[in-house]
C-alpha cells in the first residue's frame, strides 16, 4: 500500500507543475467560464417562474405555486398550434434557402479565377452581417411601403396596383427569409470557404488527370471534402433556426400577420411585455421553456440523422 501511495505522488506533482507552467491559459479560460456561469447557467434559475403564478413585486417567495398549470394553459390554447407551426416553418424556410445558399456562395467564391473579383464578392456579401437588425428591418419596411417603397413604385410604373406587403401574412415568410439571406449568407460562407481551402490539392490534380471538369471536381472532391463541416454547421444552426431571430420578427410583424409570423419566441415576448399591468410572466416563461425543448428535440434528431448518414455528429 505504501509503495502504491509513493508511486501516485509524482503524477499529482507533475500535474500541478504543468498547471503552474500553463497558468496563463487557465487565467484566459477563467474569463470564459465566469461569463458562461453568470450569463448562461445562473439565469436558468429563473425557469422556476414557469411553475408559479409569478408576482413580479413579491418574487417567488410571494408567488403561488401552480405546478404545470402554465404549460397546460399554453398547450390547450389555440395559440399553441399556430406558434409551433410558424416556428418550424420559418426554420424550414431558412434551412431550405439560407443554409444551401451559404454553401453555394462559398463554392462560387473559391472557384473564381480572378482573385480581385473573388475578394470583392466575398467583401460585398460579408458586409451586411454588420448592419444592425433594426436598420435592416427599417430598410425592408421602407422598400415594401405601399406609397414610397421602390417595389411598389416599379409596380405602379407598369400600371399595377400597390401591395401592402407587410400587413399580409402570405408575404411575411418569403420577405423575412430573403432579408436573413442578404444579412447572413456572406458571413456563414466563411466557414465553408475555410473548409474548401483545407482540401488536399492533390485530389483536384488527380481528378483533373482523370478527365473531370470543374463541375465534376466540385461534386466528387469539394462537396465530400466539406461534408463533415456542412453537417456540423447544420447541427449548430438548427437550434438558432428554431428561435427564428425573434428580435427581427418583432420589428417587422403586425397583428394582421400573426397567422404566419407569430413564433414561440415572439408569443412569449408579447405575454411578458406587450400588456403592461397584465403581463403573465409565468406563462411566458413556460412558453420559452417549451421553445427550448423543441430546439433540443430538433438538434437531437438532426444529430441522429447525421450519425446514421455521414457518421459525423456532435455526440
- Assess whether pLDDT exceeds 50 at residue 1: no
Task: Mean pLDDT check: name the lowest of 59-73, 141-155, 298-312.
Answer: 298-312
Buried b / exposed e along 18-35 (16+ C-beta atoms within 10 A): eeeeeeeeeeeeeeeeee
Residue 26 near residue 19 (C-beta atoms within 8 A): yes
- Alpha-carbon distance of 211 to 205, in angstroms, equals 10
pLDDT at 95: 86
Query: What's the N-to-C CA distance of the chain in angstroms?
Result: 40
Q: Which fold has domain 78-128+179-309?
A: MetI-like fold (1.10.3720)
- Given pLDDT bands bounded at 50, 70 and 90, which one contains residue 22? confident
pLDDT at 4: 47
Task: Mean pLDDT check: name the lowest of 172-176, 212-216, 304-308.
Answer: 304-308
pLDDT in tens, 190-220: 999 999 998 988 988 898 888 888 889 999 8
Torsion over CA of 96, 101, 104 and 105, rounded to 10 degrees?
-170
Q: How far is CA 27 from CA 17, 37, 95, 208, 212, in A?
A: 16, 15, 39, 50, 51
Give the predicted TM-score (pTM) of the model.
Answer: 0.80
- Assess whether pLDDT exceeds 90 at residue 25: no
Looking at the chain, list the stretches that DSSP marks H as alpha helix, in order from N- to C-terminal side. 2-21, 23-36, 69-76, 78-111, 115-126, 133-143, 150-157, 169-197, 201-209, 214-217, 223-243, 246-252, 258-261, 264-273, 281-309
pLDDT in tens, 261-296: 889 989 988 888 877 667 888 999 999 898 888 888
Taking residues 285-309, report their average pLDDT. Answer: 83
- Measured at the CA of 196, the angle between CA 192 and CA 199, to 5 degrees, comes to 145
Residue 151 near residue 175 (C-beta atoms within 8 A): no
SS3 84: helix
- Assess whether pLDDT exceeds 80 at residue 300: yes
pLDDT at 100: 92
pLDDT in tens, 59-80: 888 888 998 999 999 999 989 9
Half-sphere exposure of 49 (CA within 13 A, CB side): 21
Give the residue extent of every domain in the chain: 1-47, 78-128+179-309
Amino acid at each position: 500500500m505504501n509503495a502504491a501511495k509513493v508511486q501516485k505522488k509524482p503524477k499529482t506533482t507533475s500535474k500541478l507543475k504543468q498547471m503552474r507552467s500553463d497558468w496563463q491559459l487557465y487565467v484566459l479560460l477563467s474569463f470564459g467560464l465566469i461569463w458562461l456561469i453568470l450569463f448562461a447557467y445562473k439565469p436558468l434559475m429563473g425557469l422556476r417562474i414557469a411553475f408559479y403564478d409569478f408576482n413580479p413585486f413579491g418574487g417567488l417567495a410571494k408567488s403561488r405555486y401552480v405546478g404545470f398549470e402554465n404549460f397546460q394553459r399554453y398547450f390547450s390554447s389555440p395559440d399553441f398550434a399556430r406558434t409551433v407551426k410558424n416556428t418550424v416553418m420559418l426554420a424550414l424556410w431558412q434551412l431550405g434557402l439560407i443554409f444551401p445558399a451559404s454553401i453555394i456562395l462559398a463554392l462560387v467564391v473559391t472557384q473564381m479565377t480572378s482573385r480581385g473579383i473573388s475578394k470583392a464578392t466575398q467583401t460585398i456579401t460579408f458586409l451586411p452581417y454588420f448592419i444592425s437588425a433594426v436598420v435592416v428591418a427599417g430598410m425592408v419596411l421602407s422598400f415594401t411601403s405601399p406609397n414610397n417603397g421602390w417595389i411598389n413604385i416599379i409596380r405602379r410604373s407598369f400600371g399595377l396596383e400597390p401591395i401592402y406587403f407587410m400587413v399580409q401574412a402570405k408575404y411575411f415568410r418569403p420577405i423575412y427569409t430573403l432579408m436573413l439571406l442578404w444579412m447572413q449568407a456572406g458571413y456563414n460562407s466563411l466557414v465553408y470557404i475555410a473548409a474548401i481551402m483545407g482540401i488536399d490539392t492533390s485530389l483536384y490534380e488527380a481528378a483533373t488527370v482523370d478527365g473531370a471538369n470543374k463541375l465534376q471536381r466540385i461534386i466528387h472532391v469539394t462537396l465530400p471534402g466539406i461534408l463533415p463541416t456542412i453537417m456540423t454547421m447544420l447541427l449548430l444552426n438548427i437550434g438558432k433556426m428554431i428561435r427564428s431571430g425573434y428580435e427581427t420578427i418583432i420589428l417587422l410583424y403586425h397583428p394582421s400577420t400573426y397567422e404566419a409570423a407569430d413564433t414561440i419566441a415572439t408569443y412569449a415576448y408579447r405575454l411578458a411585455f406587450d400588456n403592461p399591468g397584465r403581463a403573465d410572466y409565468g406563462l411566458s416563461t413556460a412558453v420559452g421553456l417549451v421553445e427550448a425543448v423543441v430546439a433540443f428535440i430538433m438538434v437531437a434528431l438532426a444529430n441522429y440523422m447525421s450519425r446514421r448518414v455521414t457518421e459525423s455528429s456532435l455526440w
